[in-house]
Structure 1
């Protein structure tokens, strides 16, 4: 049996799993630069910055993620006509990081949603980016790749023990049972709130809310929806509704990161 864990451009998936050649992607590009001292160029080595601005990404986000001596400056987009490299250059210039030494440049496709099928019904099952397990909206994939890898290994173990090829399908079934609802909600959130700058500004305003921050952090840490604190859910619902109908006031984007 084979576990195909060879990335978003998985040759195993394309050759063996029906529908894998139609995987939708966003494209990520980042530049690793030498980190300046904190305080220089408005840089804080203890803070991760995320930018929801159409000029930096028309449908996803841009980022500055410090990693000690180096920093990742990057952007994602599914718009094939959008220049990721120019957007990163604009972000570096706007934040003063254009003066930092560029160590390397990297780019890669990131799958947008899990494939409808992860196995070929015989001896192959997929895991990680090859299976499309990257969370919408955030682009997080490491945890989900590890979880999917465990489910794929369990499925192969069951196949080898029983000889029943149907065991391979349990990898996707178990993953979607554990994480499918979170992926569905994040997908809706991305399609709606990332659609234009006006909605992105409202999304950022929502994220300033302490209830949203607390529940989002809990969901992120435990990788499941948080059902505690019903009053917090009610408050969030009412605030979201106010933004949806335009009653909540938000500042207009300044055009500067």
Structure 2
């Protein structure tokens, strides 16, 4: 048996990788967390109530507590969606949040290394040797299991599955700006998220203005080649009277919108988080889902180390899809149909006026489950949906 340096090596220190490393370290596993650091993922920064509960997020990381959202349709029609007394959306700043999660992993006992994954080699005894590049030198380490949590452009995924195996993407760009101190509530409110459905902003996704306390994320997502995301972001800044506030930083990256069919190589490598495509269609939400896959990966990795059975690696995806596959399917249909044209976007925004839709949307979002406790509400929503569809078909 080849001597291993670590039981598990986690590549990538974002929410997925840092959570996996922390949970593994807490269980007594010898784990290394590898992250190149210095890069901030473009992200609106929203996390639901369940994330704060399940992962014990420090209150200091919540930069704003959002209690409402406002949807804007192509015509300029705006619809407010109040959360009410069931909770709030916590807003984090990824510049602080990701290092906080990595530090938690270190405090739990995980080793850390600032480096970039380059390649891996499978050994005959079932172990894996990985090659890393640091700031000044390279390093070779051997492990029983590799967890690839290195984002949408995952080098681990490319190495294991080839460059053509990847989930569908939209491209996201945002600008972090200083939140205005004195603003017109009609344009900007620090406890309100803005979601904009407009072809000029995004022909196939949406734009956003998400407050983070002292800073605000203004951005756009789209998969349409040639659509200028920077120009669209400028349009949003002008529209919400944020043109003159100071820009702190600008970031862009692909955003995967569908879980891959396979996350593991059936031997000793498994993908989680963005590397596995775990970002919700329609909303683009990924932080909670990334952390959840990190938690599942830690549980199944522990079982893999104890039994040597690779079926535990396949169980990570199976468990995730059992819990969230239906939500992802519904959100995928929503994006495919309602984002398809400005006419449909306008109808979609109008639907959001309905109190049943608002309540079911917020309860499902905050708790990450399709709400079943009020079947009549679902029936009423289905009837209203059908009315909207028939209205569209008749035009």
* TM-score normalized by the length of structure 2: 0.61
Q: Is the 8 A contact 1:24 1:113 kept in 2?
A: yes
Q: Verify the 8 A CA contact 1:75 1:88 in the aligned structure 2.
A: yes
Q: Does 171-180 or 228-237 show the bigger shift?
A: 228-237
2:378 aligned partner: 233
Deviation digits for residues 214-234 of structure 1 (CA, Å, limit 9, x no counterpart): 111111122111112122112
Q: Which moved more, 1:113-122 or 1:21-30?
A: 21-30
- In the alignment, the residues of structure 2 paired with residue 150 and residue 20 of structure 1 have an alpha-carbon distance, to the nearest angstrom, of 28
The match for 1:49 is 194
SS at 1:97's partner residue?
A: coil
Equivalent position of 1:125 in the other structure:
270
CA distance in 2, matches of 1:216, 1:44: 21
* Residues 73-124 of structure 1, C-alpha deviations (whole Å, 9 max, x = no match): 1000011211100100111112221111111111111101001100011110
Aligned 1:10-29 pairs, distance under 5 A: 10-17=154-161, 21-29=165-173
Q: 1:69 aligns with which of 189, 205, 214?
A: 214
Map 1:1-257; keep pairs closer than 5 Å.
1-17=145-161, 21-40=165-184, 42-246=187-391
Distance 1:43 1:144 in 2: 28
Structure with higher strand content: 2
Whole-angstrom distance in 2 between the partners of 1:64 and 1:166: 42
Query: In structure 2, how many angstroms separate the alpha carbons of the residues matched to 1:184 and 1:43?
Result: 33
Cα drift, residue 19 of structure 1 = 7.5
CA distance in 1, matches of 2:342, 2:392: 17
Paired with 2:163 and 2:350, the residues of 1 have a C-alpha distance of: 38
Aligned CA-pair RMSD = 1.6
CA apart distance, 1:43: 1.9
Aligned residue in 2 for 1:252: none
| Greater mean alpha carbon deviation, residues 11-20 or residues 144-153 | 11-20
Q: Name whichever structure is richer in helix by fraction.
A: 1
**For residues 223 and 63 of structure 1, what CA distance do their matches in structure 2 show?**
21
Structure 2: how far apart are the matches of 1:17 and 1:73?
A: 34
Mapped to 1, the partners of 2:191 and 2:342 lie a distance apart of 27
- What secondary structure is seen at the aligned counterpart in 2 of 1:44? coil
Distance 2:157 2:392 in 1: 47
Measured after TM superposition, the shift of residue 167 of structure 1 is 1.8
1:183-237 superposed Cα distances (whole Å, 9 cap, x missing partner): 0010000000001111001111111110011111111122111112122112111
Shift in Å, 1:6: 0.7
Which structure 2 residue ranges, 5 or more long, are not aligned?
1-144
Structure 1 unaligned regions, length at least 5: 249-257
The alpha-carbon deviation at position 38 of structure 1 amounts to 4.1
